[in-house]
């Protein structure tokens, strides 16, 4: 077990920001923390890294408590803060060098790592330029690079793609994927469902400081009552027809609003059941104009769990 979080609690004043959070992450795993703005992702990460104290609970890295061995554990973690935590008036190289040294690298080894990291984030040609002259995406890449200098076992990334263009974003996602494939344990927070779906083996959904769902992507989606949603555009809706559709195996629930030509059918295994649904409808004289299947995703799970969307 690489990382173990047990009943973690943190409050600022009277406000409980992290509420009884528990999860474990295995070595080499890539773990996503998905949650809307203000969910407490950054706060949770800061407590895990020993940056802010917590009120209750425990955090273990390699079975060592962060409270007892803060410096040992900090050495194993590389953190990519949500903000660009670099010195703007210094060059990319100076920045990387400084952070490397702060993690105990020295002399030739440090210089070698600077080059490797610059190569990895694809900014070797900008090594001597000041950070303040970089584009947003480049800054983000150096921000990640600074966390890689000491080759940490665990890489914790707090919304590393916030506020940048799609191209830079893809570049960063590829970078993270590569790091994970090379064996690094990764914790990745985001409020972009697509990012964690793409990157993460396991996902924790966090809202208001609570982990409200935890598991692999498949596990989570199966938790959705009725998995997918089939949207039907129909004419001549009949009570009887709807009841019959509702009796089909795998159909969980139907939403049919009066005076509307739409049916929302919540169903498991949508594609296999699709034919039966349409046949049943037609047999009851319901004219089907259009069919759309919405696959289950984390967004709809979040919507179902909280009644809100991830981003407003």
Partner 1 sequence: MIRKIATVAMFELKRIFKKPQSYIIMFGMPLLFTLIFGSLLSGGEQVKPTITIVNNDNSTLANNYIDEIQAKDVMKLNFTDEDRAASDLSDHKITGYILIEKGFEKHLLNEEKLNIMFKHSPEYNGAVMIKQVLHNSLQKIMISTKASTVYSSLTGDSWEGINTKISNELKTSSGLKTEMITKNSEMAGMQNMSARSAGFTIMFVMMAMLSSTGVILEAKQTGVWYRLMATPTSRLELLLGYLLGFFLIGWVQFGILMAVSTIIFNITWGNIVANIILISALLICTIGISLFIAGFVKTSEQQAVFGNLVIISTCMLAGVYWPLEIVPNFMQEVARFVPQFWALEGLMELMVRGGSIIDIVEPIGILLAFAIVFLGVGITRVRFD
Ligand X SMILES: Nc1ncnc2c1ncn2[C@@H]1O[C@H](COP(=O)(O)OP(=O)(O)OP(=O)(O)O)[C@@H](O)[C@H]1O
Residues that bind partner 1 (CB under 8 A): 46, 49-53, 70-72, 74-75, 77, 79, 81-90, 94, 98-99, 101-104, 106, 146
Q: Please choose which of partner 1, ligand X, Mg ion, none residue 94 contacts, taking the beta carbon within 5 to 8 angstroms, the exact cut-off set by kind.
A: partner 1
- Give the shortest CB-37-to-Mg ion separation in angstroms: 8
**Cβ nearer to partner 1, comparing 49 with 193:** 49
The nearer residue to ligand X, 35 or 50, going by C-beta atoms, is: 35
For ligand X, how many residues bind (rule: CB under 6 A)? 13
- Binders of ligand X among 189-208, rule CB under 6 A? 191
Which of partner 1, ligand X, Mg ion, none sits in contact with 146, Cβ below 5 to 8 A by type? partner 1
Residue 38 touching ligand X (CB under 6 A): yes
SS (H, E, C) the chain: CCEEEEEEEEEECCEEEEEEEEEEECCCCEEEEECCCCCCHHHHHHHHCCCCCCCEEEEEECCEECCCCHHHHHHHEEEECCCCCCCCCCEHHHHHHHHHHHCCCCHHHHHHHHHHHHHHCCCHHHCCCEHHHCCHHHHHHHHHHHHHCCCCCEEEEECCCCCCCHHHHHHHHHHHHHHHHCCCEEEEEECCHHHHHHHCCEEEEEECCEEEEEEEHHHHHHHCCCEEEEEEEEECCCHHHHHHHHHCCCEEEEEECCCCCEEEEEECCHHHHHHHHHHHHHHCCCEEEEEEEECCCHHHHHHHHHCCCCCC
Nearer to ligand X, 14 or 106 (CB): 14
Token duo for residue 261: 């030509």
Pairing assessment for the beta strands 77-80 and 154-158 based on DSSP bridges: parallel
Region near ligand X per CB under 6 A, out of 36-44, 87-95, 120-128, 232-240:
36-44
Identify which of residues 20 and 153 has a Cβ nearer to ligand X in the complex: 20
79 binds, among ligand X, Mg ion, partner 1, none (CB under 5 to 8 A by kind): partner 1
Nearest distance in Å: CB 79, partner 1: 5
Q: By CB under 6 A, is residue 82 in contact with ligand X?
A: yes
Between CA 48 and CA 54 the distance in angstroms is: 9
First vs last Cα of the chain: how many Å apart? 36
Applying CB under 6 A, among 2, 25, 34, 42 the residue interacting with ligand X is 42
Q: Which stretch binds ligand X (CB under 6 A): 35-43, 72-80, 141-149, 259-267?
A: 35-43
Report, in Å, the least distance between residue 271 CB and partner 1: 47
- Partner touching 265 among Mg ion, partner 1, ligand X, none, CB below 5 to 8 Å by kind: none
Q: How far is the CB of 274 from Mg ion (least distance, A)?
A: 40
For binding to ligand X (CB under 6 A), which residues are involved?
12, 17, 35, 37-43, 82, 159, 191
């Amino acid at each position: 077990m690489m990382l173990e979080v047990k009943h973690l609690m943190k409050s600022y004043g009277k406000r409980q920001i992290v509420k009884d959070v528990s999860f474990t992450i295995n070595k080499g795993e890539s773990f996503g923390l998905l949650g809307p703005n203000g969910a407490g992702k950054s706060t949770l990460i800061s407590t895990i890294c020993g940056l802010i104290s917590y009120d209750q609970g425990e955090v273990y890295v390699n079975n060592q408590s962060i409270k007892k061995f803060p410096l040992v554990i900090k050495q194993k973690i590389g953190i990519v803060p949500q903000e660009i935590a670099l010195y703007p008036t210094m060059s990319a190289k100076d920045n990387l060098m400084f952070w490397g040294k702060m993690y105990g690298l020295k002399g030739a080894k440090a210089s070698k790592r600077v080059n490797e990291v610059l190569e990895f984030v694809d900014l070797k040609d900008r090594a001597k330029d000041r950070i303040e002259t970089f584009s947003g995406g480049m800054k983000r890449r150096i921000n990640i690079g600074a966390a890689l200098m000491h080759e940490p076992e665990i890489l914790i990334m707090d919304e590393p793609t916030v506020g940048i263009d799609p191209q830079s974003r893809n570049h960063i996602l590829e970078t993270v994927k590569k790091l994970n494939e090379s064996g690094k344990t990764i914790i990745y927070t985001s409020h972009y469902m697509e990012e964690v779906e793409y990157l993460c083996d396991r996902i924790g959904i966090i809202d208001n400081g609570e982990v409200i769902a935890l598991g692999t992507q498949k596990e989570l989606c199966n938790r959705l009552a009725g998995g997918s949603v089939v949207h039907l555009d129909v004419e001549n809706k009949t009570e009887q027809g709807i009841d019959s559709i509702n009796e089909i195996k795998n159909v969980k629930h139907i939403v049919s609003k009066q005076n509307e030509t739409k049916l929302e059918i919540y169903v498991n295994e949508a594609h296999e059941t699709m034919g039966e649904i349409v046949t049943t409808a037609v047999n009851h004289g319901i004219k089907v104009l259009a069919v759309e299947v919405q696959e289950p995703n984390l967004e709809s799970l979040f919507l179902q769990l909280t009644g809100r969307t991830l981003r407003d």
